[in-house]
Chains A and B, each alone.
Chain A
Amino acid sequence: MTSSAFTDHLGRPIVAVTGMGVVTSLGQGLKDNWAALTSGTSGIRRITRFPTDGLSTRISGMIDFIDIPAPNAVERSYAFARETTEEALAQAGLSGEFGGPLFLAAPPIEPEWSARFDLADRAGPSEKPNDAYDRFLAVLRERADPVFHEAALFGAISERLADRFGTRGLPVTLSTACASGATAIQLGVEAIRQGRATRALTVATDGSVSAEALIRFSLLSALSTQNDPPEKASKPFSKDRDGFVIAEGAATLVLESLEAAVARGATVLGIIKGCGEKADHFHRTRSSPDGGPAIATIRAALEDAGLSEAGIGYINAHGTSTPENDKMEYNSMRAVFGEALSSIPVSSNKSMIGHTLTAAGAVEAVFSLQTMLTGTLPPTINYVNPDPAIDLDVVPNVKRDAQVSAVLSNSFGFGGQNASLVMTAEPA
């Protein structure tokens, strides 16, 4: 084989995916997830982790079937990431020191309320209004609490992953809000294209659902309040959609230069062909009404991939089920693909797994690759009452057999974050 077989249209190393792992509310592991996803099963349930009395949203796609040593966002996010990484490395046939960089999308974290209550219990009584932190400080001056400290450090998750899997160098822990998973993959692709690495571990995890997290999104009117029945709440592209369903999840993708993957005889699961991004300056939580940045993001991903619009056979939509996102995403796709959009199937995994936030971009990249590997398009469930303003083939309610050679996956988030990935089955 000539070296050009391993480089893309711009002469850069082609980036292959050789291992994948995933956990969502549908279960642990790609096999179980895919079976549930293609049978149109919802992972959305009534919340049991904390009481929901008095809350307008009482449902989520939480993961409570993985053991954690302490109930906090760091332990949970780490455990999910550890499990998906074990799965991905096993599929990639890699053991021992990983030897490449780690790019981790992780949720911003804060001390748990239980930790604050615990400090309050140890502290003296209030002496003046608003003095809780003064009292907490007095407690810690007496006796340090390194567990409290570590549980509030953003670098704590990547530290443990790096130690466990033997990644190289200083890991990157990143947040681009709901686009974080896609950004982690993009950073891995860039590192391989730079020639800095021949393999990269890209991980996205989110185990941060708590009462406060839920209430924060609720106060922004971002969440669905259609609590009953839970599995029907997430209905992307439907007329009566009213917000996203908060959820947890994680995914790991092992990225390798195609050359290195082939050289070691690895199975190539797919190619990360192109990445696009463009920030939005319109508003902190809302996208530009004209969809300009989302359009630019999709176009940038196609250009980076060296593909025309006609090359895309399926779109894994961001499709959050919020009134605004789905309309904006539709208009942006329409602007890029024109009339041809009507003949491109577009589905939203979030109809079943909810919005896994930090993890979403990577979880959905795994499902996008699996779509090509299996020739099965996962459906958009709960599509009973179509939004007449959104003219899409959403693969309604039931999976569909279709061979697809290139997939576009979109991720858009608060703070003007937009990222899109183009994945293909074959290198060329």
Chain B
Amino acid sequence: MKRSDQDVVITGVGIVTCLGVGKEAHVAALTGAEAPQPRIEAEKFAPYPVHPLPEIDWSQQIAKKGDQRQMENWQRLGVFAAGLALDDSGFKDNAEAVGSMDMIVAAGGGERDVAVDSLIVDEGLKRNDREQLLNEKLTTELRPTLFLAQLSNLMAGNISIVHKVTGSSRTFMGEEGAGISAVETAFARIKAGQSTHTLVGGAFSAERIDILLLIEAIQGHSRGGWKPFWSRDPADGGGMMLGSVGAFLMLESRAHAQARGAKIYAVIDAIEGDRGSRDEGRLEARLGRLLEGAKALPADETVVFSGSTGFHDLAAREKATLDTAVPGVPVRAYGGLSGHGVEAQFPLGLAFAALALGEQAKVPPFDPAHEAPAAKPARHAIVTTVGHVRGEGVALLSADA
């Protein structure tokens, strides 16, 4: 593809999954002969296994204990991963760069206080004036600061406070679609010259019983022990294993990146999100359209990073669509390693893709029984995310060299 100053390039990756903190652990996973065995927390929320956070020294990216205390893990993880991306891009502590930096964060909401909620519903079982009870208990039991730890836009707010990213700050919501729209919007703004450098990403905390509840409301979890992604049995539940993940990317125009001599992991060639009815082949038709631009890519030098939720039906339909649209391109369902990261899932896929392309990795199968080995090092990547209820997105990336 012809190079242009307005190309959108990835110059920083901040990534945290159960595989580890930062890019080294993830590059190792992408370049090894075999994919690593992911970590699983199977006890704490049994019968629901989740991919837990790795060991993190929060102080590495959030210096002040006071700032750490103002956040729950969901926000902390986002602020931490954003800091990693800033470090990696070379922008960290560059006051001018972060002061003019745009930011789009894909966010859900924060954790409930399970003790307070339990207290209220248990008391409510004994009383018939439940609304009055709410007033009494919420007024006395809620921690004032918890509200701020729950507010969706306060992940971005804390990134501004901790890392001084203040050019602009926007928070997108709406489950997987939030992550797709965040990257799509950042891409479109840089392409059009509306931004020169944008921090984009999200984080998700799986180790929360209130979020497990949301997915169990549609019986979406894979239960029991960990199984590789494509090997999960419908008899063991819906197929999704949530994961605690943080993924932020530094996107820049090529001109901006080159002017400062930044390392370029990959170029984003195209990205688009869409939605609509999924009935009667409409999902396949829509995904097929989003994959149109991928059809010309050389199959032996391309890899798909599929952000599939693991829901059996959706995963199978996506796989079939990929097999038709880009036959012979190996598929890597990265949720099998990291768990599903909802809002952060699509940015996480781009993070994996950027690292793989930056290393020209021959990405090993994540589920060797179902995923074909790669023929050659990756020079192109296709990132997909099909939301657990709605929203689909596809990004195409290429190595820069």
Q: Which residues of A contact B (CB under 8 A)?
A: 50-55, 106, 108-110, 113, 116-117, 119-121, 125-126, 129-134, 136-137, 140-141, 144-146, 148-150, 152-155, 158-159, 162, 169-177, 183, 187, 190-191, 193-196, 211-212, 215-220, 277-285, 293, 413-417
Contact = CB atoms under 8 A, between A and B. Distances in A.
Given A120-B124, A154-B174, A417 B212 contact: no
A222 to B, nearest CB: 10
A212 B114 contact: no
A155 B174 contact: yes
Contacts of B148: 220, 284-285, 414
A175 B153 contact: yes
A155 B175 contact: yes
Interface in B141-166: 142, 144, 147-148, 150-154, 156-158, 160-161, 164-166
Nearest to A283: B161
Nearest to A220: B144
B194 A193 contact: yes
Contact of A416 (B121, B122, B166, B192): B166
B233 interface: no
Nearest to B122: A126
Interface in B344-401: 387, 389-393
B362 to A, nearest CB: 32
A283 to B, nearest CB: 7
A55 B390 CA distance: 39
Contact of A212 (B134, B152, B158): B134
B344 to A, nearest CB: 14
B158 A137 contact: no
Given A113-B134, A132-B122, A133-B209, A194 B70 contact: no
B175 A140 contact: no
B217 A108 contact: no
B191 interface: yes
Contacts of B174: 153-155, 158, 171-173
Contacts of A140: 213, 216-217, 219
Given A169-B273, A175-B171, A155 B390 contact: yes
17 contacts: A50-B134, A54-B136, A133-B213, A134-B209, A141-B216, A153-B389, A154-B108, A154-B109, A155-B389, A171-B177, A172-B172, A173-B172, A215-B138, A279-B103, A281-B165, A414-B157, A416-B166
Contact of A126 (B118, B151, B392): B118
A142 B185 CA distance: 41
A414 B154 contact: yes
Interface of B: 48, 70, 103, 107-109, 112, 114-115, 117-122, 124-125, 130-132, 134-136, 138-139, 142, 144, 147-148, 150-154, 156-158, 160-161, 164-175, 177-178, 180-181, 184-185, 188-189, 191-192, 194, 209-210, 212-219, 272-275, 387, 389-393
Given A173-B173, A211-B135, A144 B151 contact: no
A54 B165 CA distance: 41
Given A146-B218, A169-B274, A215-B142, A284 B158 contact: yes
A173 B171 CA distance: 9
B183 to A, nearest CB: 11
Nearest to A104: B174
B173 A278 contact: no
A131 B142 CA distance: 18
Nearest to B147: A216
Nearest to B139: A215
Contacts of B274: 169-170
A53 B139 CA distance: 11
Contact of B275 (A54, A171, A190, A277): A171
Given A126-B122, A130-B114, A194-B191, A54 B135 contact: yes
A144 B391 CA distance: 22
Contact of A116 (B121, B168, B215, B387): B121
Nearest to A131: B118
Given A116-B121, A149-B217, A174 B173 contact: yes
A174 B216 contact: no
B175 A195 contact: no
B397 to A, nearest CB: 19
A108 B173 contact: yes
Nearest to B135: A54
A311 B134 CA distance: 51
Contacts of A152: 214, 217
Given A50-B131, A155-B390, A170 B217 contact: no
Given A172-B185, A175-B153, A193-B194, A279 B169 contact: yes
